[in-house]
């Protein structure tokens, strides 16, 4: 398979996710030690989906982030760049509206959604600022963006343990359980290179979002950032 690099060429990233789509959710749960579902529950509670709410789930993958939003009655559009992810998602989630599209050029009108959200996908775009500006464009005035992304543990001791797992143990594990270990090595590298909580908040503000704040999950392994469109 093609291994994406940290330049995040869109074709390489798309091909990488196409190749791992059929086992992506399972391996994510395994490698996060089962925390993925708990993180998604927090994101869902922050979004507070309800009937009539229009939500765009960017980089939705197979729809695991969209599923709880749909189950609460919201009108959800699940967008992803990877054809393989969408095809797998349609098999797993028959009643989710999947759309193939680019986070850097969203195929929607201005002010179309009450909430835009992106879970564990913003760091895989080739231009974070452009992706955020596109999300801002399609969000209604007064609406929100909710970004869940891997971040930087705040405790120095735990951070060292976590980074050792991420960069040393994880590659060994995935080589034993996955036919495409390079994809997960790339994901580990992309997590380590990603901005910390305050840096991402600053990037979101520079992109036009207001009142940006964040909530750390699991000691800062993940952070959920919330911003508003004025």
Between 213 and 10, residue with greater pLDDT:
213
Any idea where the domains of the chain sit in the sequence?
A: 10-228
Please report the pLDDT score of residue 1 as a whole number: 43
| Of the listed ranges 81-85, 108-112, 155-159, 181-185, the one predicted with least confidence | 181-185
Between 159 and 66, residue with greater pLDDT:
66
pLDDT-based confidence at residue 186 (cuts at 50, 70, 90): confident
Please report the pLDDT score of residue 124 as a whole number: 87
According to CATH, what is the number of the domain 10-228?
Answer: 3.40.50.150
Beta sheet of 210-217, edge-to-edge order:
97-100, 75-80, 54-58, 113-119, 139-150, 222-228, 210-217
Mean pLDDT, the chain, integer: 88
Please report the pLDDT score of residue 204 as a whole number: 98
pLDDT for 12 beyond 70: no
Please report the pLDDT score of residue 110 as a whole number: 98
CA quadruple 179, 93, 225, 211: dihedral positive or negative? Answer: positive
């Amino acid at each position: 398979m093609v291994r994406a690099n940290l330049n995040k060429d869109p074709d390489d990233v798309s091909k990488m996710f196409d190749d791992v789509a059929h086992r992506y959710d399972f391996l994510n749960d395994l490698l996060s030690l089962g925390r993925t579902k708990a993180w998604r529950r927090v994101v869902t509670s922050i979004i507070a989906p309800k009937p009539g709410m229009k939500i765009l789930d960017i980089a939705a993958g197979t729809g695991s982030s969209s599923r709880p939003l749909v189950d609460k009655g919201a009108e959800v559009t699940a967008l992803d760049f990877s054809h393989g992810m969408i095809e797998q998602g349609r098999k797993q989630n028959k009643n989710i509206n999947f759309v193939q599209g680019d986070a850097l050029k969203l195929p929607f009108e201005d002010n179309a959604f009450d909430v835009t959200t992106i879970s564990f996908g913003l760091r895989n775009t080739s231009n974070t600022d452009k992706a955020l500006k596109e999300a801002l464009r399609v969000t209604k005035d007064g609406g929100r963006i909710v970004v869940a992304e891997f971040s930087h543990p705040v405790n120095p001791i735990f951070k060292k343990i976590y980074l050792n797992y991420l960069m040393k143990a994880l590659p060994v594990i995935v080589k034993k359980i996955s036919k495409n270990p390079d994809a997960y090595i790339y994901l580990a590298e992309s997590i380590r290179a990603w901005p910390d909580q305050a840096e991402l908040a600053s990037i979101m503000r520079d992109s036009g979002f207001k009142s940006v704040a964040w909530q750390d999950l699991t000691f800062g392994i993940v952070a959920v950032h919330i911003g508003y469109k004025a």
